[in-house]
Amino acid sequence: MKLKFTKMHGAGNDFIVIDAINQDIDFTPSQWRALGDRRFGIGADQILVVEKPRIAGVDFRYRIYNADGGEVEQCGNGARAFVKFVTEKGLTQKRTIKVETMCGVIEPALEDDGSITVDMGAPVLDPPRVPFDASNLQPKQQGMDTLWPVDIHGKTVLFSVVSMGNPHAVQVVADTDAAPVLADGPVIEHHPRFPKRVNAGFMQIVERHQIKLRVYERGAGETLACGTGACAAAVAGIQRGLLDSPVKVLTRGGELSISWEGIGQSVKMTGPAVTVFEGEIEI
Ligand SMILES: N[C@@H](CCC[C@H](N)C(=O)O)C(=O)O
């Protein structure tokens, strides 16, 4: 078939976005991988699929596939790209949209300046629900956060574990530029204590309202920005007593702003979404 797609990005985290309301899509993991391949395909960190909702009162269903072909629960930067896509394609006139994802309904909203704010829901910090296997570990307390000591390459790394619908392991580093993201990222991603694998965040505290962040993403490798990673890092930093909301997150691809008022409250993420080009590919 000939597949119509749009190439987009949010702070350099890049996406192939597909309208599956007006096209019949039923791809296998190897077809998603082929589309995401940067040499033999279109290339992207994630592929986002826009479908009709299955729930009354919801506007769309949003599905997410990592570059490795696996379907995942959530993608924050993708949620902003999703809003720009459905707006530009005339699939909705609404400015606040209810979107069904694998981990619940989220509510992105288009702001007057063109940026997009997403209510990402409340973070989950309970290890089994991240999921993280905390058995037989001696945690350390920092502020309101519980830090989990995990052996990575023979070093003990203290992680905050956070689910934003998808799993994150966040560590504080002195300097993100010098952090061993590429060496340790894959080891953290596949560590047996994370049964669904994990996104590995490396956060440098710049000041109480600002961090630098690099994320080695599950199923995609290091990306220029990770929206849910930014939410998880801000939550971890606030819980540890190192940050105050709102938090400006400086990534290698751009800036995101994260607000969070504490346990039980939704995390709000604001940032850009950009359309790069439209295309058609035989698949
Ligand atoms: N880039 C994303 C996260 C995409 C999914 C992630 N790699 C996972 O496997 O959970 C974001 O902006 O949140």
Looking at the DSSP bridge assignments, the partners of residue 225 are none
**Along the 283 residues of the chain, how does pLDDT read in single tens digits?**
999 999 999 999 999 999 999 999 999 999 999 999 999 999 999 999 999 999 999 999 999 999 999 999 999 999 999 999 999 999 999 999 999 999 999 999 999 998 899 999 999 999 999 999 999 999 999 999 999 999 999 999 999 999 999 999 999 999 999 999 999 999 999 999 999 999 999 999 999 999 999 999 999 999 999 999 999 999 999 999 999 999 999 999 999 999 999 999 999 999 999 999 999 999 8
Q: In this structure, which topology does domain 2-119+273-282 adopt according to CATH?
A: Diaminopimelate Epimerase; Chain A, domain 1 (3.10.310)
Pocket test for ligand 1, best of 14, 62, 63, 72 (most atoms within 8 A of CB): 72
C-alpha span between 19 and 109 (Å, rounded): 19
Question: Is 199 annotated to bind ligand?
Answer: yes
Alpha helices of the chain — where are they, by DSSP H? 29-36, 76-88, 181-189, 227-239
Look up the CATH architecture of domain 127-265.
Answer: Roll (3.10)
Domain definitions of the chain by residue range: 2-119+273-282, 127-265
Indicate if ipTM > 0.95. yes
Establish whether domains 2-119+273-282 and 127-265 are of one fold. Answer: yes
| C-alpha dihedral, 169 to 149 to 140 to 138, nearest 10° | 130
Atom in ligand 1 nearest the alpha carbon of residue 74:
5
How close is the Cα of 157 to the center of ligand 1, in Å? Answer: 22
Q: Are 230 and 269 in contact (CB under 8 A)?
A: yes
